[in-house]
Structure 1
Amino acid sequence: QRYCFIPQTIVENAVKQCNVCITRHATKQMPAMKPIIAEKFLAYVQ
């Protein structure tokens, strides 16, 4: 609810950057986390 004022493009860019960071640093440890985090973040924002 707090983030409803953030434009969708900013949210999507943030998710992309988060995915890149997760992919770089945690691909070997937890490869399945990237899409899960993106889904939960988008669902929470929307």
Structure 2
Amino acid sequence: MKVSCTWDDVKSLLQDMEKSLISFTIHFPIKFLQVAAQMQTALCMQDLG
């Protein structure tokens, strides 16, 4: 998944993935999106680079 072009959509992607069935194959992407969302909040910026 390429998130670098869609930093504004991190939170909505995370919500959509969390609603789907949790399986091992999507566990890592969910964790990645959670961390990205937390970084956006902590740094008060959408574009993380």
TM over 0.5: no
In the superposition, the TM-score normalised over structure 1's length comes to 0.38
* Larger Rg, first or second structure (1 or 2): 1
Higher helix share: 1
In the superposition, the TM-score normalised over structure 2's length comes to 0.37
Higher relative contact order structure (alpha carbons within 8 Å, sequence separation ≥ 6) = 1
